[in-house]
Each structure stands twice: as C-alpha cells, then as structure tokens.
Structure 1
Amino acid sequence: MTQQPYLSVRNLSKHFKPAAFSRGAVVKALQDISFDIPRGQVVGLVGESGSGKTTIGRSVLRLIEPTSGQVMLDGVDVTTLSGAQLRRQRRKMQYIFQDPFASLSPRMTIGQVLTEGLDIQGIGTRAERRARAEKALMAVELPVDAFDRYAHEFSGGQRQRIGIARALTLEPDFIVADEPVSALDVSIQAQVINLLRDLQTRLGLTMLFISHDLAVVEYICDTVIVLYLGRIMEMAPAADLYARPSHPYTRALLSAIPSPDPATRPQRQILTGDIPSPANPPSGCVFRTRCPFAIGACAGEVPALREVAPGHLRACIRDDIL
C-alpha cells in the first residue's frame, strides 16, 4: 500500500498583479508546480534568485495567497481554510526565515518571541508556555537564561538558533526552512545545518528546504527539485540527481559547486545571458533562451515533467541529451 504523502502540492501557481495605476505586467512567479513530500523526509528547492523558491515556501504555508492550485497537508486542503480553521492548522506548519536578525523584534525578549505563537493559539498557562520555550531553547543548544534577553545580545548563529526554536515551540510536523544559513558566516553554517539535520531526524519532521547552495542541499535533502523562472526543470532523489543530472540547467548549477579536488571537478558550464523577467517569460520552455541545446521546437512547447529514470523527472522535449 502506497503511503499518502504528508505534503502534496498540485498545479500551484502564483501571479503578482501590478500595483494600482501601474502599467506593469503580471509577474508569473510560479507556474503549475506539483510535488509531494513523504512524512519525515526533506525536499530541497534549488535555483537562481528569481526562480520562485521562496514563493513556493510562502504559498504552501499561506503566508501569501496562491493564485491557483491545491496544497494538501496531512490530508487537509490548506488552500480552502480560513479564520479559526487556518489558525489551528498553522500549529502543524512553521517557517524558518532567512535573516535571523530582521525576523526577531528588537523590542521583544526572546521569551516573548518564543511564546507569541503559543499565546495566539491559546496553548497552555503562562508557566506551561515558558516551559515549552525553555525546552525549545535547550533543543537548539542555547541556555534557558536566553529567555529574558534580547536579540541584539546574540550572535548571528545564535539568533538563527532562536529562529529555529521559535518554529519548534508549537511542536509542528512540517517546517519550511528558507535559506536558513545563507546569512551566516561559513564557519557557523555547518553547525546550524548539523543542528537542523539532527532535529529533523530526532523529531521526525517533514521539511521543505530552500537554498541556493547545492552542497548544503545534497547533505540534508532526500529529494531535490530544480526550479527555473517559476517552473520545475528537474526532480529526483538527491543521490541520483547529483550523480546523473539530466537537465542542462541542473548540469550547469552542479558544475559551479566548488570541489577540493580539481581532478574530480566537472567541466564548468557557463550559462550565457541573464534569467528573463517573470513578467515576460519566454514562450515554450522558459530555459530555452539560455540553453545550449535549444532547438526551434523549444519555443512552441512547454515541456512536461517526464520520468527519465525511476523517480527521476525532467522537463525537456529532447531525449538525445540524456
């Protein structure tokens, strides 16, 4: 019997309309995105800036409203919920923000930051809420006396641990981690990534992990989704995708990963030109304007995700470049 995925996203699209009285075009940030995350697994979203990674994460949690599509979380269609129903569902799903300083109010103690969600949800007494917050601090390896201090008293790595603790206080099943280490020094990144990996395993969390760092994604994710201009280019188990990338865009991204051994470094594949504007995407395959294998037919057909190996899908009309 096939296990029902914990998160199932179907045909998710997000279009941003121009501001009132503006002559700008509609920005098609996401187009027809579909994927599943089994319970207890980590799926990574990778791609250049502007590819739609953060928009997916925020749309899934209804931090922004999708234009169309369906998001099923543990069998519940999140896109149909409102008011008290959506508020209750938010106990199961939390967000770790990219910038650990900007996401923490300088006017609130760490204790107030950590218990705010519990207050909104009406969970526990004041003492019970404090106990939960202190438990979350210990889980991210911070002292419980951080409860009465302020964000400016902590380093960047410690502030990100506080952001992780805030996500844990409601004891969620699903977390979106949006570039959780990109704002940190390289020396601190590994510590936070190892902490996230340990928490995910120990607590059985299901996670959507957003990053532009493919080395980090390879380390922490079970499955990887490669995005370009709001569409999925390739999706595969992490080990398979890194060993046998099928899409030209994926190959270009992987070729840019630094390698300590020059002998094992793949030949660098440089993409020409800039990523097009999502307000005016290319017809057909959105990657065709930068693809070294593009042919005339690429302009007239939006490639569907097709299975090229068990569990390995890519969006390309050409079978001769596998």
Structure 2
Amino acid sequence: MSAPAPYLTVRNLTKHFAPTAFSRGPVVKALQDISFDIPRGQVVGLVGESGSGKTTVGRSVLRLIEPTSGEIRFDGKDIVKLGAGDLRRQRRNMQYIFQDPFASLSPRMTIGQILTEGLDIQRIGNRAERRARAEKALAAVELPVDAYHRYAHEFSGGQRQRIGIARALTLEPEFIVADEPVSALDVSIQAQVINLLRDLQLRLGLTMLFISHDLAVVEYICDTVIVLYLGRIMEIAPAASLYARPQHPYTQALLSAIPSPDPAKRSKRQILKGDIPSPANPPSGCVFRTRCPYAIEACAGVVPELRETEAGHLKACIRDDIPA
C-alpha cells in the first residue's frame, strides 16, 4: 500500500528577521533549511523548546509572516508565489488556532461577529447563511447557540479556546495550524480540548500541523513528529517509532522529561547543560553541539543533513553510535 500523497510540502524554508530602524542588532536566523511533508488527513506534531522556531514555522507555512526563501506547496500549489488576491482565496483552505484564547478574541466583538468575520472577508454567503455556518461551528465545538450574541469575557478559558477552534472551522478549511492550543489552559481542561480537536480532525478529515512543547499530548494526537531545535530539524519519525526508539540526543533528552506514573517505565532524566543559544548567533556546524553529551570535534564543522536511518525515520546527526 503506497503512502498518502503530501497535502503540504515544505522545502528549504528559511526565515531571517533583519534589523529595522526600530530594532537594531544582528540578523536573527529563526529558521534554516526546513523541509517536511504532511500527508492529507494526518496530524504532524512540531515539538521543541521555547525559542526553537515552532511558531515561526506555523506562521510562515500560512504566510502570516513572509518566508525569506523556500517553497511551500498546498496540494501542489506554491503559495509563496501567490499574489494578495490569490492568497486571500487560498486562505479559505488553511486556518490558524492561536495559543492564547484570551488575547486572540476581540473584546469588542460578539462571538457571532468573530465567527463570521472570515466569511465576510471571503464574501461567502448572505447574512443568514453566515450565521448558519457560525452556529454549526458552535455546535461542532459543543457550545450553545446563544453564545452567538455574547462576548468573549463571558466565557472561561476553555470555552474561549473552543470559540477559537470554531472560528477556524467556519470557513470549512482542509488544513489547520494549531499553535500550542492547550498550553494556556488548566490541566483539567486540556484533555477535553485535545479530545475535541482529535474528534474534529477525524470526523472532518482535516490535515493539521500541531505545535506543542508537551510531548505527552503530541504522542496522543499526532501521526508523525518533527523535532525542532534552534531553527533546524533534528529528527522526523512516525510517533510510535520516535517514542519507542528516539535516535537524536536532543529527542532523547526531551522524552526523558515526560513524567510517567509507572516507575517501571520511567527513564533516567537527561538534563541538557546550558541554555538554548541565540538564533542571532547560532553555533557553527550542528547547532545542538554546545549542549550535546555526545558532541565530538567534527560536529563543529559539519551541518548534519537529515538522513533516513530506518523506514520513515530521519535524524540530523553525523554519529551512528548514539545509544538508544
């Protein structure tokens, strides 16, 4: 059986933030040569520490910020080359769920206005049809229809995030970037929202890039996982393979931090030395080498390429003798 065709294809994505008149300093190399695929109907997780570039990937993929270079194809169409009008039409098929459910909803707009704003911009339907779509989205995220006339401050954090999800659904997109969608919520609410997202993804056949620092959540919801560090990919693998046999030292350190209630399944915690370097002055060669317990002299002179070590499992490391 052949693998599903990629719905999203990213090749050599690079994003540099140059200094401006209001922000002097060196060029910030946020992303360097990022390449990956997301098959139609699958959820791909993007994980890494704060400052690794996860949100920059998500926003670049949707052109919420402009890539410095690279290719981004949705269903074969390179959106980097689209003009403003074509890009606006393309946005019907790709939406974003923001991390902060408090800051991402306007306090001056009713929930109905928030949900129908995208439909207005895209000129989809008349007023009654737009309201019907908004009410359908509210039902999909298990909120009452009377939420349509209320304001964001009347809802809890979990309910606000459900509204944010509903806003993404009103345009009936095929692709969604979920950027840390539960990190701002109480632990008791996180599971409810994650289960909702998983149910919607399966029921609607959505393709999704799921950004998170919580590897336990990623294991539950994602088919494939991409591990990012300082703007470069360290490892890509099916979720089952990555969690069972992590091959990159950075991935091993991240997974060792996942708490487990079963003492027999707890791995020895691997504490990374130092802090993540500045993307304005990344290390030469392998960007992880300054914190890697297995770094050798050659790591300073070679930028490791992603190479397949087993079917569907890729890592960016020049060493083959890293213990599992």
- TM (normalized to structure 1)? 0.99
Return the alpha-carbon distance in structure 2 between the equivalents of residues 227 and 293 of structure 1. 18
Q: What SS class does the counterpart of residue 290 from structure 2 fall into?
A: coil
- Name the residue aligned to 2:164: 163
Runs of 4+ in 1 over 2 A off after TM superposition: 1-4
Return the alpha-carbon distance in structure 2 between the equivalents of residues 316 and 297 of structure 1. 11
- Name the residue aligned to 1:195: 196
- Name the residue aligned to 1:237: 238
- Name the residue aligned to 1:316: 317
Return the alpha-carbon distance in structure 1 between the equivalents of residues 4 and 233 of structure 2. 24
Listed as ranges, the matches of 1:181-260 within 5 Å are 181-260=182-261
Cα deviation, residue 2, structure 1: 5.7
TM-superposition CA deviations, 1:222-270 (whole Å, max 9, x none): 0000000000000000000000000000000000001101221001100
C-alpha RMSD over aligned residues: 0.9
Return the alpha-carbon distance in structure 1 between the equivalents of residues 130 and 144 of structure 2. 17
Cα deviation, residue 20, structure 1: 1.8
Cα deviation, residue 23, structure 1: 4.3
Return the alpha-carbon distance in structure 1 between the equivalents of residues 69 and 289 of structure 2. 25
| The 10-residue stretch of structure 1 (258-267 or 241-250) with the greater mean CA deviation from structure 2 | 258-267
- Name the residue aligned to 1:67: 68
Q: What SS class does the counterpart of residue 114 from structure 1 fall into?
A: helix
Q: Does 1:14 align with 2:41?
A: no
Read off the aligned partner of 1:232 and give its amino acid letter: I
- Name the residue aligned to 2:45: 44
User: Aligned residues, how many?
Assistant: 322
TM-superposition CA deviations, 1:26-54 (whole Å, max 9, x none): 00000000000000000000000000100
- Name the residue aligned to 2:106: 105
Cα deviation, residue 19, structure 1: 2.0
- Name the residue aligned to 2:174: 173
Cα deviation, residue 3, structure 1: 4.3
Return the alpha-carbon distance in structure 2 between the equivalents of residues 90 and 75 of structure 1. 15
Return the alpha-carbon distance in structure 2 between the equivalents of residues 7 and 107 of structure 1. 35
Listed as ranges, the matches of 1:62-141 within 5 Å are 62-141=63-142
Return the alpha-carbon distance in structure 2 between the equivalents of residues 124 and 301 of structure 1. 55
- Name the residue aligned to 1:273: 274
Cα deviation, residue 4, structure 1: 2.8
Q: What SS class does the counterpart of residue 6 from structure 1 fall into?
A: strand
Give unmatched runs, 5+ long, in structure 2. none
Q: Percent identity?
A: 85
Q: What SS class does the counterpart of residue 289 from structure 1 fall into?
A: helix
Cα deviation, residue 75, structure 1: 1.2
